[in-house]
């Protein structure tokens, strides 16, 4: 089978059994030219690392969403920066994500997780996505941003809609634009509130911060705020729901984790490899560069297909097997690599670990609801479950 005609920005191509296509890409066309979108696609592990590492050839400043024009859809967040601009902007946000901060968050994440599990434990059934995986990351981010519960709920409804903007300009809809507009208005109101009454939340830190003696513009703060929401809440949920689904489908592995909870951190790594919530990030070529016999021209774009790299047999033993006892000699690329390596990786790992610990201890017989199938959301930016109905013995 060949996939020469594949449209990498199709909303279903990465969702329903993309493995045959990824295998073909890695083996036959490791630098694939997608004629529909006029972009290159890289699928091998080492190539994704090479592209991420060589920021002088593959830059982020023209946008990481393919075919987006930042003059029309501006986004001043760190993810779209290179060099010093990136370093100083990232350093500001990093203040909230030190190892110590994350360690200190453990108690709070556990408290929030327990609260969510308490709400469903006596019911005997729930939807893992809407009851557990969707709310937890948003509540954690909401704490860091100084939101009330009502704010977290409202913002989550908007980000759920406008995150689809990451699929690319050809997939934009009125509801995406409207939801983003709602978020921008909310952000402005919140900034006005914090100006009156600053706190110790991330927004207040950004408002008081200076880069080269200048305060951050309101726009810049808004884009960083948005990046944390999309990066922090829309992704982690897919590792929680996708990981639980795999454990339900591999009861012997689940039992292993129940018997050996100390093995959960390794299971977290396997779940992060297996689920790979971001399908891709993009880069622009700053100059001509040859890879696998193809000349990538200055100005062209390349996307890195993280799920394909995370199943590359050159790196992974039995890549198509889910195995919570896998021995990792190299990291999965789900969090990217290099200078833009995910700032929230430790937090995402913590949330996933605590959710697994709580659920395996309290609802160990959770299984898929035979009357209501799970389903994925269509998309070419993020991949994850929209619904995962389950049943269990009520507690």
Binding site for ligand HEM (CB under 6 A): 52, 60, 64, 78-79, 90, 93, 141, 227-228, 231-232, 235-236, 239, 277-278, 281, 334-336, 340, 342-344, 347-348
Torsion on CA atoms 206, 210, 214, 217, rounded to nearest 10: -10
Q: Are 225 and 251 in contact (CB under 8 A)?
A: no
Nearer to ligand HEM, 25 or 309 (CB): 309
DSSP letters for 60-112: STT-SSTT--TTTS---SGGG--HHHHHHHHHHHHGGG-HHHHHHHHHHHHHH
- Distance, in Å, from the CA atom of 211 to the CA atom of 221, rounded to the nearest integer, reads 12
Minimum CB separation of residue 25 from ligand HEM in Å reads: 19
Would you mind telling me the total number of residues written for the chain in this entry?
A: 395
Minimum CB separation of residue 78 from ligand HEM in Å reads: 4
Tokens 């991330």 correspond to: 202
Nearer to ligand HEM, 37 or 369 (CB): 37
Minimum CB separation of residue 319 from ligand HEM in Å reads: 18
Number of residue whose CB is nearest ligand HEM: 344
Helix axes of 236-249 and 345-362: crossing angle, nearest 10 degrees? 40
Nearer to ligand HEM, 39 or 348 (CB): 348
What is the SS3 assignment for 237? helix
Nearer to ligand HEM, 141 or 176 (CB): 141
Minimum CB separation of residue 366 from ligand HEM in Å reads: 21
Question: Cβ–Cβ contacts within 10 Å for residue 232, how many?
Answer: 24
Through-space distance between the first and last CA atoms of the chain, rounded to whole angstroms: 50
Nearer to ligand HEM, 348 or 359 (CB): 348
Nearer to ligand HEM, 28 or 46 (CB): 46
Tokens 């556990």 correspond to: 110
Nearer to ligand HEM, 305 or 360 (CB): 305
Minimum CB separation of residue 225 from ligand HEM in Å reads: 11
Helix axes of 218-233 and 135-145: crossing angle, nearest 10 degrees? 150
Minimum CB separation of residue 247 from ligand HEM in Å reads: 16
Minimum CB separation of residue 126 from ligand HEM in Å reads: 21
């Amino acid at each position: 089978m060949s996939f020469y005609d594949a449209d990498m920005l199709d909303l279903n191509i990465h969702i329903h059994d993309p493995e045959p296509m990824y295998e073909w890409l890695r083996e036959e066309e490791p630098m694939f030219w997608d004629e529909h979108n006029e972009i290159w696609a890289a699928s091998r592990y080492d190539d994704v690392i090479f592209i991420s590492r060589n920021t002088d050839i593959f830059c982020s400043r023209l946008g990481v969403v393919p075919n987006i024009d930042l003059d029309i859809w501006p986004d001043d967040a760190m993810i779209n920066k290179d060099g010093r601009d990136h370093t100083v902007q990232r350093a500001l946000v990093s203040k909230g994500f030190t190892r110590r901060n994350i360690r200190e968050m453990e108690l709070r994440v556990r408290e929030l997780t327990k609260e969510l599990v308490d709400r469903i434990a006596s019911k005997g059934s729930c939807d893992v996505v809407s009851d557990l995986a969707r709310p937890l990351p948003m509540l954690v981010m909401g704490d860091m941003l100084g939101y009330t519960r009502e704010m977290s709920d409202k913002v989550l409804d908007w980000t759920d809609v406008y995150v689809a903007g990451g699929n690319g300009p050809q997939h934009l809809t009125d509801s995406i634009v409207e939801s983003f507009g709602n978020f921008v208005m909310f952000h402005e109101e919140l900034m006005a509130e914090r100006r009156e009454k600053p706190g110790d939340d991330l927004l207040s830190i950004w408002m008081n911060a200076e880069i080269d003696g200048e305060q951050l513009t309101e726009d810049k703060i808004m884009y960083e705020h948005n990046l944390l929401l999309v990066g922090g809440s829309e992704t982690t949920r897919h590792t929680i729901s996708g990981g639980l689904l795999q454990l339900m489908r591999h009861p012997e592995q689940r039992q292993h984790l129940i018997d050996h909870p100390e093995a959960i951190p390794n299971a977290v790594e396997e779940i992060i490899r297996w689920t790979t919530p971001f399908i891709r990030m993009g880069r622009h070529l700053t100059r001509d560069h040859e890879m696998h016999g193809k000349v990538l021209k200055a100005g062209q774009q390349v996307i890195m297909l993280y799920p394909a790299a995370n199943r590359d047999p050159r790196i992974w033993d039995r890549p198509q097997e889910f195995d919570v006892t896998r021995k990792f000699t190299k990291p999965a690329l789900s969090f990217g690599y290099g200078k833009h390596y995910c700032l929230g990786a430790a937090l995402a790992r913590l949330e996933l670990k605590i959710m697994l610990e709580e659920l395996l201890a309290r609802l160990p017989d959770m299984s898929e609801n035979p009357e209501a199938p799970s389903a994925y959301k269509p998309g070419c930016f993020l991949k994850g479950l929209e619904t995962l109905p389950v049943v269990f013995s009520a507690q």
